[in-house]
Amino acid sequence: MISAAAEVQRRLWGTDPRAWAELAESHNRPLFEAVLDAAAVGPGTAVLDVGCGSGLTLVLAAERGAVPSGVDISPGLLDIARDRLPQADLREADMESLPFGDAVFDAVTGVNAFQFAGDLRWHLRNVIIGAPANWARTALEWNLANDERFGPHTPGGCTTCLGAVTIDSATSNVTRNVGYYILGHASRFVPPGSVRVASTLTGTTSATGLYQVAYRTPAGRYVLVTMNDGNSAQRLNIVYEGKTATHSLGAGEAATYVW
């Protein structure tokens, strides 16, 4: 069972995978190299590339001595990746339900991938909260705005990237997508120069589905981004320097607290 978003992307990316691999993918090589540098991928690193496509990021990782694994929803792109990397663990799967256990990899990358997930919970749990909570240096959502045909974009650019908003070219109507609400919780309150600070979730278990990450801004304020990924409401007690604030998060709700 795959998500509706994954079904759409499987169809779109399966139209001409060979053309993508031979004509477009190589333009992203400097970006892939920069991502691997930032993730400190080197000899012996067990790396998972989410949305690995035809596998160039993993090829570059393997050239550094890393142990590559990948997941993608497009069988055609995976066939090319398997030709390039016959020893790699490459699986056809939905990124919203990864077929791997916890703490399996040293580094997880995703370039031109996470924006295709259609689930707000998934984006918050894995990108906006999950990545920084596990000391990621960058969490990138792509792109800001496009029209109903995923344009405009540069020659060779992404033809299926969903923006934070979609602007109808005929009516100028604006549709707010998942990325819009993610930006509302993160970039709106976590300005450049903010640093991740330690925060601890206590008095609960993973079954409750609470996720959180905290920051200190350049102005000295604290920001806590939270989400309830469970199926029932959860009461959240925020404790800081002996003071407590209590709030209830409904199932699937997210909230950002600033003090």
138-171: pLDDT as tens digits? 777 777 888 888 888 777 667 777 788 889 999 9
Q: Which two tokens stand for residue 209?
A: 């589905």
Q: What is the pTM of this model?
A: 0.59
Q: Domains, the chain, ranges and CATH?
A: 4-185 (3.40.50), 195-258 (no CATH)
Other residues' Cβ atoms within 10 Å of the Cβ of residue 218: 10
Query: How confident is the model at residue 252, as a pLDDT?
Result: 81
Percentage of residues in the chain having pLDDT higher than 70: 92
The closest of 69, 58, 67, 53 to 32, measured between CA atoms, is 58
Q: Which two tokens stand for residue 42?
A: 């080197």
Mean pLDDT over all residues of the chain? 86
Helix (H) or strand (E) holding 166: strand 165-167
Q: Tokens 């496509």 identify what position?
A: 53
pLDDT over 90 at 223, yes or no: yes
Q: Which two tokens stand for residue 91?
A: 């699986």
Query: Each residue of 182-211: pLDDT tens digit?
Result: 778 788 899 889 999 999 887 655 556 889
β-strands 210-216, 195-197 pairing: antiparallel
Q: Which of 83-87, 130-134, 141-145, 177-181 has the highest mean pLDDT?
A: 83-87
